[in-house]
Amino acid sequence: MGLAAAQRAVTLGHKVDLIEADGKLGGMAAHFDFSGLSIERFYHFVCKADGPTFALMRDLGISNKMRWVDTSMGYFTHGKTHKWGDPVSLLRYPHLSVIEKLRTGLQMFLATKASGFSRIEHLTAREWIERGSGKSVYQKLWRRLQELKFHEFADEVSASWIASRIKRIGNSRESILKAQLGYIEGGSETLIEAMADDIRRKGGRIYLNTPAERVVVKDGRVSLVQAGGTGFEAQAVISTVPIPLVNHLVPDLPQEWKDKYAAIRNIGVVCLVFKLRKSVTPHFWENIVAEDIDIPGLIEFSNLRPFADTIVYVPYYMPLTQPKWHWQDEQFIDEAFSYIRRVNPAIQPDDLMDARVSRLHHAQPVCEPHFRDKLPCVQTPIRGLQIADTCFYYPEDRGVAESIRYGRMMAEAVSRRLSGTVSHWTDADTGSEK
Ligand SMILES: Cc1cc2nc3c(=O)[nH]c(=O)nc-3n(C[C@H](O)[C@H](O)[C@H](O)COP(=O)(O)OP(=O)(O)OC[C@H]3O[C@@H](n4cnc5c(N)ncnc54)[C@H](O)[C@@H]3O)c2cc1C
């Protein structure tokens, strides 16, 4: 979001300083060196609905880097993987009755066709699924997945958030039977580096290893960002750091705003990536529902983006209050590898070539019903200061395309303000409903 905002602002003719705390650009989409392989710390795929990503890639002249692949989904339960994710697989699935299958199929189909989800905004995901597909379907298909991702918040997640996810992925299809997902050749880094190159080429400056420490406010408007021991003067500041960090960064915000930011909850993720000699599953995404397997699924990324070896990600989402958050990397690797071997018993210990663990404190906002009403406006009461993170595009789930869209909107709002096109900041400046 920050990169997209900076790229748009510099393109619109502004002088831009991009301040990044990490030693690498890209945030959640950043790469790392996995024993000689440059790959995302957290798996990333592209959906057909990701319009803002395609528009930006066109602007940057890298549209030719987009690749589309026929992918499939599996569902591991009762000791066996079943094909999943299309009507025929649903009809063949042995652990639901005919009525349960019909109700599930209809609810998923309607979600992919809906133009919006305001009608179900008051419901939790559980209530919506229980009403549409039935309580037994929630128990059989969804409960474990929700609990393993959201833990104590599992029953609080909103229906419109989950329906938006189903819609985004459900609509990434070539035909009713064939799902297609995309990747960028070279990974997310290709896009990140193209944005960074464009920013630099147009005169923007990028500072790595420079954590913003404080946004300084003078006479009700931003004047300076203190970061990495330096002061960056600014007429406008766009903050795209995770919302839980904002109150510390901007102590001058009114208490009412701080309370709103403090009420936004996030969970973390511990994400493992394995390099293996053998394939685990023919599917890109394998959901796992088994009471004695504590992961909601695994992602065989090399079934999307080809690599010399098999690449499998295993995400452990959890609130930081979970005792497991404090596990050592080796504990996670041992447990996750044992689960991989449960899914495919042909995998032997010596098939494990390498494994890495990445942790993120703020990986996923927890969005309850009517979440939008609880969000503060993007434009803060401090003139020149806009603040957003991935939860601002609720009910859409966090994703690269939406972060790009938001970053660009915020840059355009700054541009209109500084050029005097609007005399006051308005919500419309951000294109947001807030
Ligand atoms: C496991 C996982 C899988 C995902 N899979 C997909 C996927 O398949 N497809 C998809 O589209 N999206 C996916 N996403 C989501 C996607 O990565 C995010 O939506 C997107 O990258 C968010 O970008 P952002 O810039 O809004 O936020 P972030 O990436 O969180 O960026 C925030 C930035 O702020 C920086 N920062 C923090 N504090 C400071 C400070 N004090 N000063 C300066 N900088 C600071 C951080 O270092 C970071 O670079 C996934 C995310 C995760 C965690």
**76 falls within a domain:** yes
The pLDDT, as a whole number, for residue 31 is 98
Q: Are residues 272 and 359 in the same domain?
A: yes
Assess whether the previous peptide bond of 315 is cis (omega < 30° from 0): no
Strands 385-387 and 237-239: parallel
We report the CATH number of the domain holding residue 311 as: 3.90.660.20
Q: Are residues 23 and 112 in the same domain?
A: no
Q: Are residues 256 and 273 in the same domain?
A: no
Q: Are residues 258 and 278 in the same domain?
A: no
We report the CATH number of the domain holding residue 378 as: 3.50.50.60
Residue of 144, 146, 169, 148 whose CA lies nearest to 158: 146
Point out the domain boundary residue: 365, 397, 420.
Answer: 365
CB-CB contact of 161 with 167 (8 Å): no
The pLDDT, as a whole number, for residue 97 is 98
CA atoms of 144 and 157, how far apart (whole Å): 14
Q: Is the CB of 372 under 6 A from ligand 1?
A: no
The pLDDT, as a whole number, for residue 431 is 43
CA atoms of 382 and 250, how far apart (whole Å): 10
Q: Are residues 169 and 119 in the same domain?
A: yes
CB-CB contact of 12 with 59 (8 Å): no
The pLDDT, as a whole number, for residue 415 is 87
Q: Is the CB of 44 under 6 A from ligand 1?
A: yes
**303 falls within a domain:** yes
Q: Is the CB of 297 under 6 A from ligand 1?
A: no
CA atoms of 108 and 84, how far apart (whole Å): 13
Q: Are residues 329 and 303 in the same domain?
A: yes
Q: Are residues 110 and 172 in the same domain?
A: yes
**334 falls within a domain:** yes
pLDDT by position in tens, the chain (length 434) = 999 999 999 999 999 999 999 999 999 999 999 999 999 999 999 999 999 999 999 999 999 999 999 999 999 999 999 999 999 999 999 999 999 999 999 999 999 999 999 999 999 999 999 999 999 999 999 999 999 999 999 999 999 999 999 999 999 888 877 889 999 999 999 999 999 999 999 999 999 999 999 999 999 999 999 999 999 999 999 999 999 999 999 999 999 999 999 999 999 999 999 999 999 999 999 999 999 999 999 999 999 999 999 999 999 999 999 999 999 999 999 999 999 999 999 999 999 999 999 999 999 999 999 999 999 999 999 999 999 999 999 999 999 999 999 999 999 999 888 877 654 445 444 444 44
Chain Cα centroid distance, residue 415: 27
Which numbered atom of ligand 1 lies nearest the CA of 362?
A: 30
Q: Are residues 252 and 317 in the same domain?
A: no
Point out the domain boundary residue: 331, 350, 365.
Answer: 365
Task: Indicate the SS3 state at residue 217.
Answer: strand
Angle 360-189-1 from CA coordinates, rounded to 5°: 60
Range of the domain at 74: 70-181
**49 falls within a domain:** no
Q: Is the CB of 299 under 6 A from ligand 1?
A: no
Q: Are residues 76 and 174 in the same domain?
A: yes
Task: Indicate the SS3 state at residue 351.
Answer: helix
Q: Is the CB of 241 under 6 A from ligand 1?
A: yes
**167 falls within a domain:** yes
pTM of the model: 0.95
The pLDDT, as a whole number, for residue 186 is 98
Point out the domain boundary residue: 136, 159, 181.
Answer: 181
The pLDDT, as a whole number, for residue 434 is 45
The pLDDT, as a whole number, for residue 418 is 83
Which numbered atom of ligand 1 lies nearest the CA of 397?
A: 19
How many Å lie between the centroid of ligand 1 and the Cα of residue 245? 14
Q: Are residues 97 and 217 in the same domain?
A: no
CB-CB contact of 82 with 89 (8 Å): yes
**62 falls within a domain:** no
The pLDDT, as a whole number, for residue 429 is 47
Q: Are residues 372 and 260 in the same domain?
A: yes
Q: How far apart are the first and last CA of the chain?
A: 17
We report the CATH number of the domain holding residue 122 as: 1.10.405
CB-CB contact of 260 with 317 (8 Å): no
Which numbered atom of ligand 1 lies nearest the CA of 403?
A: 26
Q: Are residues 77 and 93 in the same domain?
A: yes
**52 falls within a domain:** no
Beta bridge partners of 273: 313, 356
The pLDDT, as a whole number, for residue 422 is 59
Residue-wise pLDDT for 111-150, tens only, equals 999 999 999 999 999 999 999 999 999 999 999 999 999 9
**54 falls within a domain:** no
Angstrom CA distances, 178 to 85, 182, 284, stand at: 9, 13, 13
The pLDDT, as a whole number, for residue 177 is 79
Q: Is the CB of 192 under 6 A from ligand 1?
A: no
CA atoms of 236 and 147, how far apart (whole Å): 41
Residue of 315, 314, 320, 316 whose CA lies nearest to 266: 320
CA atoms of 392 and 39, how far apart (whole Å): 27
Strands 73-77 and 66-71: unpaired
* Number of structural domains in the chain: 3
